[in-house]
Amino acid sequence: MKSVGIIGANGYTGSELVRLLAFHPKVELQFLYSRSNSGIRISEIYPDLIEICEMTLTNKIEEVDILFLCLPHQESKNWLIENPLKEDVLVIDLGNDFRLESNFQDRNFIYGLPELFKNEMKSAKSIANPGCFATAIQLALLPLAKGKLLQTVYTTGITGSTGAGQSLQPTTHFSWRNDNVSAYKTLNHQHVDEILLMLNESNETEIELNFVPWRGDFARGIFTSSIIKCDLELEIIYAKYCDFYKDSPFVTISEKPIDMKQVVNTNRCAIHIEKNKDTIVVHSAIDNLLKGASGQAVQNMNIVMDWEENTGLQLKSIAF
Amino acid sequence: MKSVGIIGANGYTGSELVRLLAFHPKVELQFLYSRSNSGIRISEIYPDLIEICEMTLTNKIEEVDILFLCLPHQESKNWLIENPLKEDVLVIDLGNDFRLESNFQDRNFIYGLPELFKNEMKSAKSIANPGCFATAIQLALLPLAKGKLLQTVYTTGITGSTGAGQSLQPTTHFSWRNDNVSAYKTLNHQHVDEILLMLNESNETEIELNFVPWRGDFARGIFTSSIIKCDLELEIIYAKYCDFYKDSPFVTISEKPIDMKQVVNTNRCAIHIEKNKDTIVVHSAIDNLLKGASGQAVQNMNIVMDWEENTGLQLKSIAF
Amino acid sequence: MKSVGIIGANGYTGSELVRLLAFHPKVELQFLYSRSNSGIRISEIYPDLIEICEMTLTNKIEEVDILFLCLPHQESKNWLIENPLKEDVLVIDLGNDFRLESNFQDRNFIYGLPELFKNEMKSAKSIANPGCFATAIQLALLPLAKGKLLQTVYTTGITGSTGAGQSLQPTTHFSWRNDNVSAYKTLNHQHVDEILLMLNESNETEIELNFVPWRGDFARGIFTSSIIKCDLELEIIYAKYCDFYKDSPFVTISEKPIDMKQVVNTNRCAIHIEKNKDTIVVHSAIDNLLKGASGQAVQNMNIVMDWEENTGLQLKSIAF
Amino acid sequence: MKSVGIIGANGYTGSELVRLLAFHPKVELQFLYSRSNSGIRISEIYPDLIEICEMTLTNKIEEVDILFLCLPHQESKNWLIENPLKEDVLVIDLGNDFRLESNFQDRNFIYGLPELFKNEMKSAKSIANPGCFATAIQLALLPLAKGKLLQTVYTTGITGSTGAGQSLQPTTHFSWRNDNVSAYKTLNHQHVDEILLMLNESNETEIELNFVPWRGDFARGIFTSSIIKCDLELEIIYAKYCDFYKDSPFVTISEKPIDMKQVVNTNRCAIHIEKNKDTIVVHSAIDNLLKGASGQAVQNMNIVMDWEENTGLQLKSIAF
């Protein structure tokens, strides 16, 4: 059994890690750190955790084998400065601090998209867990980028309210968001750089990504559609995708239409491709808190620790 | 008072016309025709109509001044063949029969987008009411087309379940659709021809429209985002939109972000434009059953009859 | 035209009054008062009001014929003390300040349930508008109370998120409330006293009301079911209800099952009664912001001003 | 490993069993029977099962150790007549055929509420799995019945659309059900007899249950509130509940308010009790497809097979 600590355990991604790790057969939760809520049992904040995790949030840090950072963006660096760690602690950061700049202190953060860097992860001690939209869009486009087939991409994506976090905001007020759709950060989402960094590595020419994110009226899930000019036959494209993901247990390439809810509450990504004349559309769907955050973090931990990739991630879908 | 008949009054668009016309001060509902449900009071099918419209659906046609056809697509033609009308009856067809082919029998159908053809409508006796997605996308793009600024357009749009009609289908089952998003008719939606017919009329070069429609988990509303390459300054673009719609009481050009629900249960279309480098995104939102169908049909009737354009259409938004 | 002022115009009930009065043919909005948001156009807070009401919120009070108070509960009294009014101004208070204590300053507040006090209102200058649950439950029970048929009542009611107001709270966070149901203020809701005050007036014995309110995962609407022991035949009960509400244009007594959405976005109350052996269940449904607040306030204004009761209240239902 | 067959595998409860048993470490799915869809892979009907269960539905029955019947109500009897089984096959019927009449053929069906009949189940070969509302209401009331404290109970319960099954019906049409609430089978629900049979066994006097079921606008979940006259102190009542459920790993007695979503997608039942004067209200929440159907069926199987009660049932809640 490896010991685990979670920094920022009372947020959505932190508590989702608790939900996953409480049933993970190879790890033991050692401490749940929260500055703002220390002294409170996590099951008082999230009553679904009653009798599943009755740990009390703490502001004391203990030695552990594995540490997950679930802090607001750009707070992980400060946290690591203020709380020096032994070098053999596996750190998995769910923020965006180390996605673009991978070197910090003596650590070299591997970008935690296992479909791309599974081998690099095996000897890693530091993982920068990808963003939720970044995961959904990269998985949709990577096989084309590897094939040097991308130039200009037009992507629309829709995300659930949990993507905006736990804090109360006008755009997460139920009365406003229910039955509503709206656009935000048009052509300007913070994940675009992260997406392009990975895609451009393999593509021949510089890729242009025009990304329009929408807020959806559901709590969990991301659905994206990317429109791309491409001359290849659809069967050849499907073959490229199947080949690219042949060792990826959580990616489903589906020749039948997909819907977002088929992956909600699971760690899976579903991908479906359609073509008309010289235009293809790649659809992808994930659960933003699982494959888009905490589930992928557990998947990454499993890979680094050399456990079965799906350990603790055989999750029943909500389905309906 | 003008007399009105509705053919296909028991569907969503037909009953929505009843809701509007029951309070319209210039018309009187004369008969509500339904083959399948004749003999049943419409308020038994739609209990919101109790004490508002207690008419019984009939399979007999009477003489009226104005006739709305709310039939399944491609059934209006047969209906007109089987039920010859006096030539001075105003016919407004909510199906797609006469949108692309405007001449039928002795009638010349005007495409009923008042923001484009208000003048042509004034002497019309036959109106082909636009499709819901067609309305939302045309209103988003028309000022650019008029400015000969369109080449390739990448549009994603999301629609409520009422867009799929009243019949029971797996994709309108609550257990499936709730909290779900999915794509359908990718690059292949039946409204694309209708949209291009109108846009190309004014544009210089042939426009290419890549349209990906999504099913949303709400009952009413359409939200679209169109990505377009364009070098103009944003202020100039806004000026073009404001100018184009200066006589359009139901189109709102908003420099602030819009959300779908701000127009739900109204006849309005809200438009918002954003720009980053050489790329603009035009967002538009309508209620698919009102500005996208029955509301626009009443607006068209008002124009033909030379009544105030917003007569019977001062609708309280659901807002929240 | 009568002039109207709204105190607290930027909340849900205040802005809903704006939506109604903007189209009301007999009144003119004179000023919209808001301490916290003065200087801001109301259409910036509620974009559905763009081009419908472009007034700027103010912290200055002007003389008007009719004044609506849409303040938090128990703030109306202070406001009236600090802002003395001419005695002939019609004051309609949407808070709970004057529902139980009707005398204040020189004013005598009539409880604004028109189905009960329409005559008393005709000469009134001060109206205490009922609470939302109070309206739904009183309308469900009044004919039985008048018949001296009530003893112990067991009521469950469910309300939309707008009932909790515009402020951000954990229980109105979309991620929590979506797909969720929960109970609150069990047997202890603040409307119980208000309900009993009215019911006991006509009933023979003291009524006991056991009321369990639930939070629903929708924005608008209230649905209640009250279980009551009663020996009368169902037809006789229906006859009593029809008779009691024969002059009430907004109450629908339905022998067919009702659903909440049939009244959403309208000022109507739908009532349906069922019986099994010696037990009856009365269901009622309203829109909490309309018949449960702002719509009823307009109805009350119409009655006091001797206008048609439904002036400005012929609202298209959302229906679906 | 025990072999399992599912009869009626393509419905909601049948496919939910597949989701659970695909990850259950002690059983192997042997065949999935469906008359209507034989020859189709179950993952084509439920794409969330892609790569999780790729079995093809069949109309052939094989020998198995454990058989789940997921047929429409009152079809299990005929099925057992037409398909004689070896007597040592464990049969778990999710229909209502054997809940009230426990003897059929040579089999004696134990009512499968493990909180009541865990001991009786241990040697059973036939289990009648309880109804969903029956489970939620019995778990809410059993400790009071055991204490002979029940006389008249007033219960309102709300259920998700999956409770109405997979078939397309007007009341499961998304456009109707979204944002809607309605009552059905008022005082007349088929689970009342089943509930009373169990409760009356231990109670002193005949219990009267007045039950009003509502349809909710969510897919999964049941929430109930029962109002009961009771003089006991609240702490004593809580003590009785804690004692009664001390060996029940899936029942949570919560002194803090509960919400439905805390148990959605889990096999848990959450119970919370409140008191005012001589009246108590017991709230309970379950997932209608899990603790209310397929999850409880797996729990029952575990008990009969003498496996850990929560084997295969450590399910991550949807939570938000």
Indicate the length of chain C as a whole number. Answer: 320
- Tokens in use for B273? 């434009």
Q: Would the CB atoms of D173 and B175 count as touching at under 8 Å?
A: no
Within 13 A of C74's CA, how many CA atoms are on the CB side? Answer: 1
**Position A222 in a domain:** yes
Residues of chain D below pLDDT 70: none
Residue B205 has pLDDT above 90, yes or no: no
- Tokens in use for A215? 């807020």
pLDDT digits (tens, 9 = 90+) for D29-78: 999 999 999 999 999 999 999 999 999 999 999 999 999 999 998 899 99
Q: Which long-range contacts does C187-190 make (Cβ < 8 Å, 24+ apart)?
A: C187/C211, C187/C212, C187/D274, C187/D276, C187/D279, C187/D281, C188/D276, C189/C133, C189/C213, C190/C73, C190/C96, C190/C131
Kindly list the residues from chain D whose CB atom is less than 8 angstroms away from the CB atom of residue C210: 154, 227, 279
Instruction: Please state whether beta strands B103-104 and B107-108 pair in parallel, antiparallel, or not at all (unpaired).
Output: antiparallel
**Position B159 in a domain:** yes
Phi, psi of A270 (to 5 degrees): -105, 135
Residue A202 has pLDDT above 80, yes or no: no
Q: Would the CB atoms of B12 and D175 count as touching at under 8 Å?
A: yes
Mean pLDDT along residues C172-177: 98
**Position A320 in a domain:** no
Do A170 and A215 belong together in one domain? yes
Catalytic residue among B53, B132, B230, B269: B132
Is A69 in a helix, a strand, or coil?
strand
Counting one residue from A and one from D, how many pairs have CB atoms under 8 Å apart? Answer: 82
Is C222 in a helix, a strand, or coil?
strand
The DSSP call for residue C210 is E
pLDDT class of B310 with cuts at 50, 70, 90: very high
- pLDDT given at position A303: 98
**Residue pair B218/B178 in contact by the 8 Å Cβ criterion:** no
Mean pLDDT along residues A155-181: 96
**Residue pair A211/A137 in contact by the 8 Å Cβ criterion:** yes
Helices and strands (H, E) in chain D, number of each type: 9, 15
B158-180 in b/e form (b: 16+ CB < 10 A) is bbbbbbbebeeeeebbbbbbbbb
Do B280 and B136 belong together in one domain? yes
Q: What is the pTM of this model?
A: 0.98
Do D125 and D138 belong together in one domain? no
Kindly list the residues from chain D whose CB atom is less than 8 angstroms away from the CB atom of residue C180: 218, 259-261
**Residue pair A45/A10 in contact by the 8 Å Cβ criterion:** yes
Residue B316 has pLDDT above 90, yes or no: yes
DSSP C160-185: -GGGG-SS--GGGBHHHHTT--EE-S
Do A119 and A12 belong together in one domain? yes
Give A223→chain C minimum CA distance, Å.
Answer: 17
Interface test with A, best of C16, C46, C166, C175 (most A CBs within 10 A): C175
Residue B95 has pLDDT above 80, yes or no: yes
The DSSP bridge partners found for residue D128 are: D93, D111
Do C155 and C115 belong together in one domain? no
| Helical pair B132-146 and B114-121, crossing angle rounded to 10 deg | 90
Q: Which helix (H) or strand (E) holds B99?
A: none
Helices and strands (H, E) in chain B, number of each type: 9, 15
Q: What share of chain B is helix, strand, coil (3-state, %, to 5)?
A: 30, 25, 45
Do D92 and D146 belong together in one domain? no
Number of domains chain A contains: 2
pLDDT class of B255 with cuts at 50, 70, 90: very high
pLDDT digits (tens, 9 = 90+) for A61-103: 999 999 999 999 889 999 999 999 999 999 999 999 999 999 9
pLDDT digits (tens, 9 = 90+) for A232-272: 999 999 999 999 999 999 999 999 999 999 999 999 999 99
- Tokens in use for A142? 């990577």
pLDDT digits (tens, 9 = 90+) for C280-297: 999 999 999 999 999 999
Q: Would the CB atoms of C264 and D223 count as touching at under 8 Å?
A: no
Residue C147 sits in a domain whose CATH number is: 3.30.360.10
Do D159 and D279 belong together in one domain? yes
In chain A, alpha helices (H): 12-21, 42-45, 76-82, 114-121, 132-146, 174-177, 191-202, 234-244, 294-304
Percent above pLDDT 70 for chain D: 100
Q: Name the nearest CA neighbour of D5 among D72, D73, D59.
A: D59
Do C68 and C164 belong together in one domain? no
Closest-CA residue of D relative to B216 is D174
- pLDDT given at position A201: 82
**Position C239 in a domain:** yes
Residue D298 sits in a domain whose CATH number is: 3.40.50.720
C277 burial (CB, 10 Å; 0-12 / 13-18 / 19+) is exposed
Interface partners of chain B (CB pairs < 8 Å, 3 or more) are A, C, D
d(CA B96, CA B100): 8
**Position C311 in a domain:** no
Do A138 and A279 belong together in one domain? yes
D139-172 in b/e form (b: 16+ CB < 10 A) is bbbbbbbbbebbebbbbbbbbbbbbbebeeeeeb
d(CA A218, CA A180): 10
Closest-CA residue of D relative to C181 is D260
Instruction: Please state whether beta strands B2-7 and A279-286 pair in parallel, antiparallel, or not at all (unpaired).
Output: unpaired
**Position D317 in a domain:** no
**Position A318 in a domain:** no
Mean pLDDT of chain B: 97
Q: Name the nearest CA neighbour of A111 among A6, A197, A9.
A: A197
Residue range of the domain that includes D199: 132-286
pLDDT digits (tens, 9 = 90+) for B221-249: 999 999 999 999 999 999 999 999 999 99
Do C241 and C172 belong together in one domain? yes
Dmax of chain D from CA atoms? 61
Indicate the length of chain D as a whole number. Answer: 320
DSSP D11-34: SHHHHHHHHHHTT-TTEEEEEEE-
Across the beta sheet with C66-69, what order do the strands follow? C27-33, C2-7, C66-69, C90-93, C126-128, C110-111
- pLDDT given at position A102: 93
Within 10 angstroms of residue D14's Cβ, the number of other Cβ atoms is 25
In chain C, alpha helices (H): 12-21, 42-45, 76-82, 114-121, 132-146, 174-177, 191-202, 234-244, 294-304
- Tokens in use for B112? 């009923």
Pick from B188, B218, B279: which is nearest to A210 by CB? B279
Phi, psi of A93 (to 5 degrees): -100, 120
DSSP B4-35: EEEETTTSHHHHHHHHHHTT-TTEEEEEEE-S
Mean pLDDT along residues B10-34: 98
Is D302 in a helix, a strand, or coil?
helix
**Annotation marks residue B132 as catalytic:** yes
pLDDT digits (tens, 9 = 90+) for A25-41: 999 999 999 999 999 99
d(CA C108, CA C101): 9
Do C207 and C122 belong together in one domain? no
| Helical pair A191-202 and A132-146, crossing angle rounded to 10 deg | 20
Catalytic residue among A132, A230, A242, A269: A132
Rg (CA), chain C: 19
Q: Name the nearest CA neighbour of A34 among A14, A4, A13.
A: A14
d(CA C117, CA C111): 7
Pick from B252, B265, B270: which is nearest to C265 by CB? B265
Kindly list the residues from chain B whose CB atom is less than 8 angstroms away from the CB atom of residue A218: 179-181, 217
Residue C253 has pLDDT above 80, yes or no: yes
Do A155 and A33 belong together in one domain? no
- pLDDT given at position C291: 98
**Position D309 in a domain:** no
Catalytic residue among C70, C132, C230, C269: C132
Q: Name the nearest CA neighbour of C182 among A218, B96, D256.
A: D256
Helices and strands (H, E) in chain A, number of each type: 9, 15
C125 burial (CB, 10 Å; 0-12 / 13-18 / 19+) is middle
d(CA B265, CA C290): 15
d(CA D5, CA D130): 20
Kindly list the residues from chain C whose CB atom is less than 8 angstroms away from the CB atom of residue D261: 176, 179-180
Interface test with B, best of A137, A171, A179 (most B CBs within 10 A): A179
B56 burial (CB, 10 Å; 0-12 / 13-18 / 19+) is middle
Binding-site residues on chain C for chain D (CB distance < 8 A):
154, 156, 158, 175-176, 179-184, 186-188, 210, 212, 214, 216-221, 223, 225, 227, 257-261, 264, 272, 274, 276, 279, 281, 283, 285, 318, 320
The DSSP call for residue D290 is T
pLDDT digits (tens, 9 = 90+) for B260-309: 999 999 999 999 999 999 999 999 999 999 999 999 999 999 999 999 99
pLDDT digits (tens, 9 = 90+) for C99-112: 999 999 999 999 99
Within 10 angstroms of residue B235's Cβ, the number of other Cβ atoms is 10
Mean pLDDT along residues B64-92: 96
